[in-house]
Amino acid sequence: MKRKVLKHFIYSLIMSATMTGCVSATVTAVNLGFSNGYVKAWLFSWSIAFPVGFWLLLTLSPLFKWSTESLADYIVKGK
């Protein structure tokens, strides 16, 4: 059980860091361009987005996994 919880925690950490980092970098670039203050603005927005994304993924990913498996089973089996 410990291993399963640890794997879920690590997965959520890596996935949320990657997704929120990419999205916040993109939105910052669209809004400000690559100006002198880009990195500072991006890190600020990422520092807000990452904790939100991490906790959402940590808590909601079991539901997403179950829904995805149920939908895939329904499509494949037609039940």
From first to last of the 79 residues of the chain, give the pLDDT tens digit: 798 889 989 999 999 999 999 999 999 999 989 989 999 999 999 999 999 999 999 999 889 889 999 999 888 887 6
If you count them, how many residues does the chain have?
79
**Number of domains forming the structure of the chain:** 1
Q: What is the DSSP string of 2-46?
A: HHHHHHHHHHHHHHHHHHHHHHHHHHHHHHH-S-TTHHHHHHHHH
Cα distance between residue 17 and residue 9, in whole Å: 12
Q: pTM value?
A: 0.76
- Give me 16's structure tokens: 């949320």
Residues of the domain holding 42: 2-77
